[in-house]
């Protein structure tokens, strides 16, 4: 499915090229990034792998995406549906109000395929990985894998930065060989303020800290 989705085409068509294809769940600014390349767009390889897995005629799957929270995300999800359809995977897409979407996620009641985004500014991907891949006891996780659990446990207790970097590299290789996600993109965010706004500084995440921000009369 990663080979089937034309992420570069999505970035070009929906974001005017302002973004980069994700290589995995470690972002380009985070510790350990760069050990694996992004999946290339290769629908013929996707079809061959489907056939090898016993799905030469494809299969059908339900998908949900939240609406009104991420830029052009409805169009992104529709593009994914189209790309997967090209290799024989029929996707039944439902766009949901974001609150309802995350409520169903917490209850583990979303369809097998769903779209989401997660930001962090710690400089490491552990918080996002633990949140999204921490097993059925984690609030927003829909995935469990003993190998990932073991690596995350090692990362959480490792104080040596270089050793943590090596663990992030190991988990990236494993998550490319056994991908729990279709890896999409890192967006570029554009922000603007009026001259009356003071004390506002853009941050490298979707989190806003406005304690020092003011609006002049």
| 146-157 vs 161-177: helix crossing angle, rounded to 10 | 170
For residue 7, give the 3-state DSSP assignment.
helix
Closest by CA to 129, choosing from 19, 1, 7, 27, is 27
Residue-wise pLDDT tens digits, 105-139: 999 999 999 999 988 888 899 999 999 998 888 88
Report if residue 112 sits inside a domain.
Answer: yes
Report if residue 209 sits inside a domain.
Answer: yes
Q: Which domain holds residue 12?
A: 7-118+180-215
Q: Across the chain, what does the average pLDDT equal?
A: 94
Band of pLDDT at residue 165, cut at 50, 70 and 90: very high
- What is the tally of structural domains in the chain? 1
Closest by CA to 35, choosing from 44, 47, 23, is 23
The CATH number of the domain where 70 resides is what?
3.10.105.10
Report if residue 142 sits inside a domain.
Answer: no
Report if residue 189 sits inside a domain.
Answer: yes
pLDDT value of position 5: 98
List 187's β-bridge partners, or say none. 19
Kindly give the residue spans of alpha helices, DSSP state H, lying in 67-160: 73-86, 98-106, 126-133, 146-157
Contact 21, 38 (CB under 8 A): yes
Report if residue 140 sits inside a domain.
Answer: no
Lookup result for tokens 């959480």: 156
Q: Is the pLDDT of residue 207 over 90?
A: no
Report if residue 113 sits inside a domain.
Answer: yes
Report if residue 173 sits inside a domain.
Answer: no
Distance CA 102, CA 116 (A): 9
pLDDT value of position 118: 86
Contact 67, 36 (CB under 8 A): no
In this prediction, residues 178-188 reach a mean pLDDT of: 94
pLDDT value of position 190: 85
Contact 131, 217 (CB under 8 A): no
Phi and psi (nearest 5°) for 187? -80, 160
Distance CA 180, CA 24 (A): 10
Distance CA 140, CA 40 (A): 28
Report if residue 139 sits inside a domain.
Answer: no
Residue-wise pLDDT tens digits, 8-50: 999 999 999 999 999 999 999 899 999 999 999 999 999 999 9
């Amino acid at each position: 499915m990663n080979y089937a989705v034309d992420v570069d085409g999505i970035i070009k068509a929906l974001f005017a090229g302002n973004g980069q294809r994700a290589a995995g769940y470690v972002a380009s600014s985070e510790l350990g990034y760069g050990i694996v390349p992004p999946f290339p767009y290769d629908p013929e390889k996707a079809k061959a792998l489907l056939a090898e897995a016993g799905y030469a005629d494809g299969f059908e799957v339900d998908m949900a995406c939240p609406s009104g929270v991420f830029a052009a995300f409805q169009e992104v999800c529709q593009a994914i549906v189209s790309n997967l359809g090209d290799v024989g995977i029929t996707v039944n897409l439902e766009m949901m109000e974001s609150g309802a979407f995350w409520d169903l996620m917490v209850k583990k009641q979303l369809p097998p395929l769903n779209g989401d985004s997660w930001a962090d500014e710690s400089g490491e991907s552990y918080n996002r990985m633990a949140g999204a891949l921490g097993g059925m006891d984690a609030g927003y996780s829909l995935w469990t894998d003993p190998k990932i659990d073991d690596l995350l446990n090692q990362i959480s207790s490792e104080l040596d930065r270089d050793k943590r970097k090596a663990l992030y590299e190991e988990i990236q290789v494993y998550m490319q060989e056994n991908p729990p996600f279709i890896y999409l993109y890192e967006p570029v965010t554009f922000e603007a303020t009026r001259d009356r706004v003071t004390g506002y500084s853009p941050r490298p995440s979707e989190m806003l800290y406005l304690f020092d921000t003011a609006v002049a009369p």
